[in-house]
Structure 1
Amino acid sequence: MTRLLQRLFGRLPIGWLQLTHKRGRFAAALAGVAFANVLVFVQLGLMNSMGAATLKPYEFFQADIMISAGDANALSEGGNVARQWMLQALADPDVADGMGLFVSNVLWDRGGTSISFTSFGIDPAHAGFVAPGLTDDQDLLQVPGAVILDRLARGLPPEEAAAIRPQTPLRFEAQGRTLTAMATFAGGGGFGGDGFMLMSDQTFLSLFPARTSAAPDHILLRLRPGSDVAATVTRLRGLISDQSLRIRSFADAAQEDLRYQQTQRPTGVIFGFGVLIGVLVGIVIVYQVLSADVADHLREYATFKAMGYGSRFFLGIVLEEALVLGLFGFVPGVLIGTGILMLMGAVTTLPLTMTPGMAVTVFLGTVVFSALSGAIATRRLAAADPADLF
């Protein structure tokens, strides 16, 4: 390694030799940098999983425009929307079809354990609003009490989910009603529930008798081929008399939901602060190591300074040490972080994975905060007088 660094820097790798001279301190420093990396990786993984879980239910449907109540910041939050506004929207020549979407959590008490399903009530007659490939059994929802379960839901045994089919349905009690799972689809657990469930709007209303078919949670609209979504949204805002409604494209609704979860919901803010804390921990650890190393070698640095070496020479040595700590600390950090995310993902069924983007981001961040720590550590040396160091 010494020869490789000597060729790379074009000089003796003084920083590397100083770090490796005390191997115990060097190992402790690497462990500290790796710990900071692991902390950032876990927090970034949680943030990314929250984003994926937020956008996941939007993938279940295909629509061009969504109409929601003014306070509906998320798919499962906010007031209801009068179905009459869907009838007004259908008057636009570019709107081909509309469907009311009902959303709520349904708890399945399994006796000692329970599974919370984020449930969607849809009109089975409007097959075009369900995303292709999600399920081929949507017609089964026309049977009263029939549902399609998320086979990846937390708490649902895989063998039990695998046995669900029209010939061998699964009956269970929820909300005081008997539901019959006729088929399954691949969803996955999220932060708002353990999984997802599809049912007809009539089955949904039987579970929530206080709700009415005249007031779904959202209205989904599909446009005719070739229609301009933005122009249609603008026309609908003038056509629909209730100006408090949120009328936006389906894609914009998903992104607004994501921003809301990341910037206004406590969970997203906490994860963001976790990333910041991990970075600060890394800066402090590297600074402490480099500051102690500078203090240990002040006499040697004073000799170099008296010989005429300038501040750039000393800055180069300390930055060399910072980069060595950052690079060598990143490798165990990414390996341990990947293992922790895989374990958490297996336990929670959340989409917790190490992505190339995460690895590159943390690597660049590690190099930057290591270099910043090195620059701060050299300030003491730059201000020192060689005559005072002997």
Structure 2
Amino acid sequence: MIKSKTPLAWRQLIKAKGRFAVALSGIAFADILMLMQLGFQSALFDSNTRLHKLLNTDVVLISSQAQNLGLVNTFPRRRLFQAANLPEVESASSLYVRLANWKNPQTKLESSILVIGFNPNSSAFNLPEIKENLNLIKYPDTLLFDRSSRGKYQETIA
């Protein structure tokens, strides 16, 4: 029969308990940092693709000079009409995206917000809240705020 013996590696670890604790805490700290980095990466990806996931679309045409979502240059509307004339395309509509400065009328604080403009007669988004309020945004000087945006817009919304 084989007698169970304490493995040599375990004996070396528990002989110097202080070194063992320091090594274990170092490994735990490295694991925590890696998990935090994965969380930040996931949050960054989700926040940058959130708008794209909400669009009611299969294909998006953007300017070849676009740098990011806030700095998208326009392109000739002729390209949109050319795409709409293809037999495979059901419909085509334009979407305008810009960064703008917002000044809260109550607090007078300025912040940068992403402004999205679209034809209210088209179904550009897959959000029921937008579809329910399409008639309201057809009026001049009317807009919708994202419920989950950062900032204190509740004071502005009346």
TM-score by length of 2: 0.83
Q: Structure 1: which 4+ aligned runs deviate by more than 3 Å?
A: 110-115
Partner of 1:212: none
* 1:118 partner SS: strand
Larger relative contact order (Cα-Cα within 8 Å, sequence gap ≥ 6): 1
| Residues 115, 154 of structure 1: 8 Å contact kept | no
1:238-277 → structure 2 map (5 Å cutoff): none
| Residues 72, 98 of structure 2: 8 Å contact kept | no
The change in CA–CA distance for 1:77 and 1:106 in structure 2 (over 3 A counts) is: closer
| Shift, 1:103, TM fit | 0.5
For the residues of structure 2 that align with 1:53 and 1:134, how far apart are their CA atoms? 19
Partner of 2:125: 130
Q: 1:105 aligns with which of 85, 99, 106?
A: 99
Mean Cα deviation higher: 87-96 or 26-35: 87-96
| Shift, 1:74, TM fit | 3.3
Number of matched pairs: 153
Partner of 2:23: 29
Q: Is 2:128 aligned against 1:116?
A: no
| Shift, 1:84, TM fit | 1.6
Partner amino acid, structure 1, of 2:52: Y
Bigger proportion of residues as strand = 1
Q: Is 2:143 aligned against 1:151?
A: no
Q: Is 2:61 aligned against 1:70?
A: no
For the residues of structure 2 that align with 1:11 and 1:138, how far apart are their CA atoms? 75
Residue by residue, what CA displacement relative to the aligned partner does 1:366-388 show, whole Å, maximum 9, x if unpaired? xxxxxxxxxxxxxxxxxxxxxxx
* 2:22 partner SS: helix
| Residues 69, 81 of structure 1: 8 Å contact kept | yes
TM-score by length of 1: 0.36
Partner of 1:51: 45
* 1:119 partner SS: strand
| Shift, 1:142, TM fit | 0.3
| Shift, 1:11, TM fit | 4.5
* 1:76 partner SS: helix
For the residues of structure 1 that align with 2:54 and 2:147, how far apart are their CA atoms? 14
Q: RMSD of the alignment, in Å?
A: 2.4
Identity over the aligned pairs, expressed in percent? 25
In structure 1, list runs of 5 or more residues that go unmatched: 1-6, 171-390
Bigger proportion of residues as helix = 1
Partner amino acid, structure 2, of 1:142: K
| Residues 104, 119 of structure 1: 8 Å contact kept | yes
Residue by residue, what CA displacement relative to the aligned partner does 1:197-226 show, whole Å, maximum 9, x if unpaired? xxxxxxxxxxxxxxxxxxxxxxxxxxxxxx
The change in CA–CA distance for 1:134 and 1:74 in structure 2 (over 3 A counts) is: farther
In structure 2, list runs of 5 or more residues that go unmatched: none
Partner amino acid, structure 2, of 1:59: K
Bigger Rg over Cα: 1
For the residues of structure 2 that align with 1:37 and 1:123, how far apart are their CA atoms? 48
The change in CA–CA distance for 1:14 and 1:56 in structure 2 (over 3 A counts) is: same
